[in-house]
Amino acid sequence: MKDKVKFVARRRAPIGAPPGTLIHDERASPTAIRMIVVEDDHVESVEGATIAQVRAALGSRKRVWVDVTGLADLDLLGAIGELFSLDPLALEDIANTNQRPKVDTYENHALIVVHMFDGVNVRSKEQFSILFDERHVVTFQERPGDCLEPVRKRLQGANGRIRKRGAPYLVYALLDTILDAYFPVLEKIGEELEELEDRITQDPQPSDVGRLHELKRELLVVKRALWPSREMLSAMAREELGLIPADVQHYLRDTYDHAIQLIDLVETYRELAMGLLDLYLSSVSTRMNEVMKVLTIISTIFIPLGFLAGVWGMNFHADSPWNMPELGWRYGYPVALLVMVSIAGGLLYLFRRKGWL
């Protein structure tokens, strides 16, 4: 049986734990660092980078994107937090992946938490955290595989503006790509809803109801990720600490419009899913009524036939002219059958004239 999308997070800090407590997740992917050093005329990508290499890159005053995949190594996450003077509460939000999408601003940097999909299905949802200042971007994701490969390719391009616009523009590009990955997920759900609509209209099956409930759960997961993301993007477009330049805020407002469009799609598909459930119940009821109508008509036709068969089936002696004289008649049997067929035919004609057939 396919696992359903879960809403409740089973991992949380113990009751009474001090602020900044990191919770180890045994299912977390191993932690690995990919460092991308960006210059106007050159981009260097370092797979499996160490803390020492990251520290050296930060000291070179170059633009750096530190891409952390997997959250199993809490000590390594703590070391990265020390490099960027990250607040313990912010590090807790990164490591404990049950956060609501949001943006938190600090003295010299900001932290963004969003939910990311791979662009294929809802079950790929994971928390994606972005720590950034004027020159550096650090991202944290739960496991390998994401929708951000187009951003990495744009960084490799010699003529792309993403190389020259600094860390805030890279943050915008990441957020815009993550929001864009919602569209194919919703389009896939919409196509499946249209197929379900055709099936339910023609031949509703009980399995259709189960799939409808699964799709409603998936849409709820997307909605829970989108609504706070909209608030977060709106807050970033009004950010006043100077970390996000005005021209980048202009692009963020476009991403905010994408979030609004996605929310409209989610609401439309949720209404469609609820309407399809009503359509299924109506179709099943109509189908049952049709079956009952046919059975009722058949019963109505055979009631008089059964009555006649019961009358002629009584075993009275035929010597008396009052005791069923037709039993001794030469043509009694075929006439009885003819009477029955005539009654059945007459009833069928009557039902058709009344529109019951």
Report how far residue 169's alpha carbon sits from residue 10's, in angstroms, rounded to the nearest whole number.
35
Summarised one tens digit per residue, pLDDT across range 92-132 is 888 888 888 998 888 778 899 999 998 888 888 999 999 98
Report how far residue 134's alpha carbon sits from residue 137's, in angstroms, rounded to the nearest whole number.
8
Residue 223: the pLDDT is 92
Report how far residue 71's alpha carbon sits from residue 141's, in angstroms, rounded to the nearest whole number.
7
Residue 16: the pLDDT is 53
Question: pLDDT band at residue 20, thresholds of 50, 70 and 90?
Answer: low
Q: Map residue 60 onto helix, strand or coil.
A: coil
Residue 273 has pLDDT above 70, yes or no: yes
Residue 41: the pLDDT is 76
Kindly report the pTM of this predicted structure: 0.78
DSSP, residue by residue, 132-150? E-SSEEEEEESSS--S-HH
Q: Report the Cα–Cα distance between both ends of the chain, in Å, rounded.
A: 43
Residues in contact with 37: Cβ distance below 8 Å, sequence separation at least 6, in sequence order:
43, 44, 45, 46, 57, 60, 62, 63, 64
**Stretch 248-269: mean pLDDT, rounded?**
91
Residue 163 has pLDDT above 50, yes or no: yes
Q: Residue 93's closest CA among 13, 173, 181?
A: 13
Instruction: Please report which helix (H) or strand (E) contains residue 221, including its range.
Output: helix 206-237
Could you give the percent of the chain with pLDDT greater than 90?
Answer: 24
**Stretch 297-319: mean pLDDT, rounded?**
74
CA quadruple 157, 262, 236, 107: dihedral sign: negative
Summarised one tens digit per residue, pLDDT across range 197-222 is 888 888 888 888 888 989 999 999 99
Half-sphere exposure of 152 (CA within 13 A, CB side): 15
Residue 180 has pLDDT above 80, yes or no: yes
Locate tokens 């191993």: which residue? 30
Summarised one tens digit per residue, pLDDT across range 66-95 is 999 988 888 888 898 888 888 888 888 888
Average predicted confidence (pLDDT) for the chain: 83
Residue 165 has pLDDT above 60, yes or no: yes
Residue 175: the pLDDT is 94
